[in-house]
């Protein structure tokens, strides 16, 4: 009788303890990647004002239960564009905690004009120019676990199927996010868990292309029990241990079907074009093997470039755009002249101020080829003590170089000759 009387009381006590006990928090701040630009800002005061403002805006949005947002300050001084993204299975509190940790770490980059921090739970990046549509950059790579699965064949088959489904479904899902799990057939009841996510500012095509690269990277982790693939605008992860709750699993089945196709026509088309498809697949496999080999060799020689921002190569500017930007290369916009050409101040359509130099060199085919190869080389040289070459333009006999504009008559220190005037 006493035990029966205690049962309701114990139930009440357990319920009350569950109600008042704090929820388990996990901001998932396992660091995957961080990097600072080697190029510093020119105006520290404006830069830090803008950086603090963008981070404050991001924090405000996260406090409003958002898991993704962008913010920018471009009105004065050095512009700052920023983005934060938490995994969609994160709670609002854990997302804020992850952001706070990322913000503290990214500020160690000091006056760098670009930086990023990638955790398991969130991603934070800022740059001096807009990057919101970027998804894939050089340096994308897998991060693999050290433990190997016991049932190698069954586990590898399950992971490959899981990743393939996430790659297809995620770009078709609103907000470009999916969390999914799959049973390991013949694995003694084991399950694999996976998450795929793209930046919400990316296009569907860009998301798909990014996840294709991520899938290739992460599959190289097998038969490791867990793996991740990181890139500028997407994230892919699998594990044999659950890292999101069962009730947060995404139903991706409707997004795996290719709507609007007729099954009968597809079968006929497959039979008729079967031979051609086989030939195409063989060619693609040969090309892909060559591409992967050269890409791995390139990554091995250059190191982790994902941690170095703004290495995007030269921009091929339109001659008409540069002509408009410099007001027809007017004397009013002329900054000066040197031994190899005249320099003009230009205002591009996006508001960026640049210095445009018209070169005086021989106009042979060899000179033009040397010009283009030198531009490709110099445009990827970044150092705080060097002015940055943004790109070039070649139109008939006109060869133009586009540099970052530096105010206060400092251009003459860099543009190959003393300038006679300033603007």
**Cβ pair 337, 413 in contact under 8 A:** no
Helix (H, G, I), strand (E, B) or coil at 260: coil
* Close Cβ partners of 367 (under 8 Å, ≥ 6 residues apart): 361
The token pair at 38 is 């080697």
Helix (H, G, I), strand (E, B) or coil at 120: coil
**Cβ pair 173, 195 in contact under 8 A:** no
C-alpha span between 165 and 1 (Å, rounded):
57
Q: Of 29, 183, 181, 222, which Cα lies nearest the Cα of 118?
A: 29
Q: In the Cβ-directed half-sphere of 306, how many Cα atoms lie within 13 Å?
A: 23
C-alpha span between 109 and 112 (Å, rounded):
6
Helix (H) or strand (E) holding 401: strand 398-404
Was 358 annotated as part of a binding site? yes
Q: Measured over all CA atoms, what is the biggest interatomic distance in the chain, rounded to whole angstroms?
A: 106
The dihedral of CA 341, 344, 349, 350: what is its sign? positive
The token pair at 312 is 């995007």
Q: Is 91 exposed, middle or buried (0-12, 13-18, 19+ CB in 10 A)?
A: middle
The token pair at 171 is 């770009």
Annotated binding site for ATP: 358
Q: Give the residue ranges of the annotated binding site.
A: 358
């Amino acid at each position: 009788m006493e035990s029966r009387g205690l049962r309701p009381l114990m139930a009440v006590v357990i319920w009350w303890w569950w109600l008042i006990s704090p929820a388990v928090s996990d901001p998932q701040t396992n660091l995957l990647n961080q990097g600072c630009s080697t190029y510093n800002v020119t105006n520290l005061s404006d830069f830090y004002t803008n950086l603090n403002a963008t981070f404050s805006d991001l924090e405000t949005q996260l406090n409003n239960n958002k898991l993704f947002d962008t913010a920018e300050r471009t009105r004065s001084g050095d512009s700052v564009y920023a983005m934060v993204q938490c995994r969609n299975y994160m709670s609002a509190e854990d997302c804020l905690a992850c952001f706070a940790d990322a913000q503290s770490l990214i500020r160690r980059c000091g006056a760098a004009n670009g930086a990023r921090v990638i955790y398991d739970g969130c991603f934070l990046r800022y740059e001096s120019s807009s990057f919101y549509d970027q998804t894939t950059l050089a340096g994308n790579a897998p991060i693999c676990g050290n433990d190997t699965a016991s049932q190698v064949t069954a586990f590898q088959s399950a992971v490959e199927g899981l990743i393939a489904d996430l790659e297809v479904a995620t770009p078709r899902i609103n907000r470009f996010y999916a969390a999914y799990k799959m049973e390991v057939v013949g694995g003694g009841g084991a399950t694999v868990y996976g998450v795929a996510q793209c930046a919400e500012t990316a296009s569907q095509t860009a998301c798909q292309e990014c996840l294709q690269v991520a899938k290739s990277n992460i599959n190289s982790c097998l038969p490791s029990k867990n793996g991740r693939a990181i890139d500028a605008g997407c994230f892919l992860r699998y594990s044999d241990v659950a890292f999101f709750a069962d009730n947060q699993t995404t139903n991706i089945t409707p997004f795996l079907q290719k709507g609007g196709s007729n099954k009968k026509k597809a079968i006929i088309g497959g039979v008729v074009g079967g031979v051609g498809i086989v030939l195409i697949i063989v060619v693609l496999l040969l090309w892909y093997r060559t591409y992967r080999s050269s890409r791995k060799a390139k990554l091995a020689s250059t190191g982790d470039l994902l941690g170095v921002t703004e290495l995007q190569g030269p921009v091929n500017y339109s001659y008409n755009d540069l002509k408009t930007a410099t007001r027809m290369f007017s004397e009013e916009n002329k900054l000066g002249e040197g031994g190899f050409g005249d320099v003009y101040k230009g205002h591009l359509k996006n508001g960026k101020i640049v210095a445009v130099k018209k070169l005086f060199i021989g106009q042979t085919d060899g000179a033009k080829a040397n010009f283009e190869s030198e531009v490709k080389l110099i445009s990827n040289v970044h150092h705080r003590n060097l002015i940055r070459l943004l790109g070039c333009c070649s139109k008939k006999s006109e060869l133009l170089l586009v540099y970052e504009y530096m105010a206060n008559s400092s251009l003459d220190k860099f543009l190959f000759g003393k300038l006679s005037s300033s603007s």
